[in-house]
Structure 1
Amino acid sequence: MEFQSLGWREVIGRFDGGRITSDGGGLLLREVDQRIGLLDRLAACFTDHRNPESIEHSVRDLVAQRDLTGERRVREQDRGNPLAASSTLNRLELGIPKSAISDRYKRIAADNEAMDRLLVDLFLESYRKPPRKIWLDLDATDDPLHGQQEGRFFHGYYRCYCYLPLYIFSGEHLLCARLRTADKDASSGSVDELQRIVGQIRARWPKTRIIIRADVGFCRDAIMAWCETNDVGYVLGLARNKRLQRALGKEMEAARLACERTGEAARCFRDFRYRTR
């Protein structure tokens, strides 16, 4: 079964492999980890208040088991040691920084700010030299709920009970993942996240042009005002508005004519106009 090629590589699906395992992907994740030191850097974002003499699974081991399960299973099988129980993983996931040092059971505290910085650092390190321009894509999507979870709200647009997390990407790189309840506006918290991310990027790449891109849910005065104040470009969707279309009719036509004179830009403008109808 042939699929679309990937660059010069042919992609072909075959089903005569005999007995195979799906755990092999964990080995690839291990190679990625060894190149960028992801697990060590992520584990460094936690403070472990447990008694060192009583620890069987280090924070790094718990992070590996939680996030890279396949790779962790291979390592544990080789060592003959059991995986950490769910109660041990809870010490990693549910610890509260302010009380972890005195908590009897949840004595591992996460530094959320450090993890936020790590996502952006990994993005910056993926470039050999600063790019001339980058796009930051903002998006809010539904995370459906199927029980009586805390912060459970019904969202009219998605027609379900859900959370409404905020994501910020640059290409394939995740720069922000913020869990939110569904009773908030799609753009809630965006300015704070942009201020943090843009500040970290500009500290390393002061000359790189930054442009944000998002749908109509992020077309808010607060975001546009922040972008204009901080020299950040923006391309935001606008809700259909006949009065606004009439008011901007001449400007839109002038823009179309200007794009036609630039050749390839005309196609981009037509695509943009089609998406806004």
Structure 2
Amino acid sequence: MDGWRAASTSSCPGTGHQRKTAERQAARRRAWNQRLLFNAHYDEYGFQPIVVFDGEGRPVAALLRPARRPTGREVRGFLRRLVRAIRGHWPRVDILLRAESHYCAPEVLDFCRAERLGFILGVATIRTLRRRVETLEHSTAAR
């Protein structure tokens, strides 16, 4: 891109306008890149979109967002807009939310209950959960 910028501003007569345009584009690009965050799982910088599909696998909605774990408030806001749009067309439809553990937050659970949404959410492994599962594993292995 820097090669394009140099070529577009140096080879044209009246380069003042082109230079300002290129500088504005470079500033926009820097602002956009600030939204990129490092994702240790993928060992690179990037985005982590939220993508929603219907029961048949057809895309319903997508949200491009920084590659960090979404807050419960962020997910709740996205779900609120999504549910409002769906119920605007089909007011009595049953909605089932299936999502990974990083979407499981108190705000999301409260929203799902208040809006009468079915939900299947992953639960992140924590020490308390691990202790309970180990107890179950030992008792099952003993049988």
Q: For the superposition of Structure 1 and Structure 2, which TM-score range results when normalised by the shorter chain?
A: 0.5 to 0.7
1:6 is aligned to none
1:237 CA displacement: 0.6
Matched, 1:234 2:97: no
Matched, 1:221 2:106: yes
Kept in 2, the 8 Å contact 1:153–1:163? The answer is yes
1:244 CA displacement: 2.7
Aligned-partner Cα distance in 1 for 2:95–2:36? 35
Q: 1:242 to 1:199 in 2, by over 3 A?
A: same
2:51 is aligned to 167
- Cα distance per residue 1:123-179 (max 9 Å; x no partner): xxxxxxxxxxxxxxxxxxxxxxxxx93423211222111112221111322222111
1:206 is aligned to 91
Aligned-partner Cα distance in 2 for 1:245–1:191? 27
The runs of at least 4 consecutive aligned structure 1 residues that moved more than 6 Å come to: none
Aligned-partner Cα distance in 2 for 1:241–1:186? 19
Query: Which SS does the other structure have where 1:209 is aligned?
Result: coil
1:243 is aligned to 128
1:246 CA displacement: 5.2
The residue identity in structure 1 corresponding to 2:39 is H
Q: 1:150 to 1:240 in 2, by over 3 A?
A: closer
Tell me the TM-score normalized by structure 2: 0.59
1:153 is aligned to 37
Kept in 2, the 8 Å contact 1:175–1:197? The answer is no
The residue identity in structure 2 corresponding to 1:193 is F
| Structure with more of its chain in helix, by fraction | 2
| Structure 1, unpaired ranges of 5+ | 1-104, 106-147, 253-277
| Structure 2, unpaired ranges of 5+ | 1-20, 22-31, 137-143
Aligned-partner Cα distance in 1 for 2:59–2:93? 18
Q: 1:178 to 1:149 in 2, by over 3 A?
A: same
Query: Which SS does the other structure have where 1:194 is aligned?
Result: helix
RMSD: 3.0
The size of the alignment, in residue pairs, is: 104
1:42 is aligned to none
The residue identity in structure 1 corresponding to 2:95 is I
The residue identity in structure 1 corresponding to 2:41 is Y
Quick one: higher RCO (CA 8 Å, sep 6+), 1 or 2?
2
Q: Percent identity?
A: 26
1:245 CA displacement: 5.5
Aligned-partner Cα distance in 2 for 1:181–1:247? 34
2:77 is aligned to 192
1:231 CA displacement: 0.8
Kept in 2, the 8 Å contact 1:176–1:193? The answer is no
